[in-house]
């Protein structure tokens, strides 16, 4: 928040709001021990979505090769290339840069919700398109379509 010019009483108010929070898990009649929360924004709160957007606002700066489209907590990264070798190289570079940003910001990439789609034109045929990318011992699968702001986009 200081990075964005928030100072003084307003900053202290946010610090108070985000500090000394605790959580526990309650399943059926079993309750876990209370544990401190060291980072993150309160989910379900009025300020939560705004604070999360401020938190991830610099995410696009980590990957100069990608064009980001972010809506709430849904992030899409677009890039273009001329062949499958370039596709894999740029894709892996972007994944490494994203992982560095996530690590620096104490976040993780949910690989179960991560996929990639290769949009192609009729004029450009790229042979040997990969069906997945290996990344950090995880398999990122290729999908023939994605949902983007409620629209289904297919690779053609």
> Do 97 and 151 sit in the same domain of this protein?
yes
Mark whether 94 and 128 lie in a shared domain: yes
Predicted confidence at residue 124, as pLDDT, reads: 62
Beta bridge partners of 69: 76
Q: Nearest 5°: CA angle at 24, between 22 and 26? A: 155
Residues 87, 139: Cα–Cα separation, whole Å: 16
Q: Do residues 43 and 106 both lie within one domain?
A: no
* Predicted pLDDT of residue 131: 84
Profile the chain (156 residues) by mean pLDDT over runs of 10 residues. Answer: 90 92 93 92 88 91 93 87 83 90 89 85 69 83 86 85
Tell me: do 42 and 93 sit in the same domain: no
Report the C-alpha gap between 7 and 51 in whole angstroms: 15
125 shares its domain with 98:
yes
Distance between CA atoms of residues 155 and 145, nearest Å: 6
What pLDDT does residue 77 have? Answer: 93
Give the pLDDT score at 39: 84
Q: What is the pTM of this model?
A: 0.78
Rounded CA-CA distance 92/15 in Å is: 37
Q: Is 23 strand, coil or helix?
A: strand
Alpha-carbon torsion (50, 55, 56, 59), positive or negative: positive
Alpha carbons within 13 angstroms on the beta-carbon side of residue 10 total: 6
In sequence order, the 6+-apart residues with CB closer than 8 A to the CB of 46 are none
- What residue numbers bound the domain in which 102 lies? 58-156
Regarding whether 91 and 32 lie in a shared domain, the answer is no
Q: 103 near 60, Cβ under 8 Å? A: no
């Amino acid at each position: 928040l200081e990075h964005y010019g928030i100072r003084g009483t307003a900053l202290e108010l946010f610090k108070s709001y985000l500090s000394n929070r605790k959580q526990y898990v309650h399943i059926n009649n079993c309750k876990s021990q209370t544990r401190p929360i060291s980072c993150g924004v309160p989910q379900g709160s009025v300020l939560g979505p705004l604070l999360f957007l401020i938190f991830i606002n610099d995410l696009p700066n980590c990957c100069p090769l990608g064009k980001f489209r972010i809506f709430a907590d849904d992030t899409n990264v677009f890039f273009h290339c001329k062949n499958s070798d370039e596709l894999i190289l740029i894709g892996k570079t972007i994944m490494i840069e994203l992982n560095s940003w996530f690590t620096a910001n104490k976040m993780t990439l949910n690989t179960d919700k991560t996929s990639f789609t290769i949009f192609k034109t009729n004029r450009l045929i790229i042979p040997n398109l990969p069906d997945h990318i290996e990344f950090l011992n995880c398999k990122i699968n290729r999908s023939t379509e994605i949902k983007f702001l409620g629209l289904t986009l297919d690779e053609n």
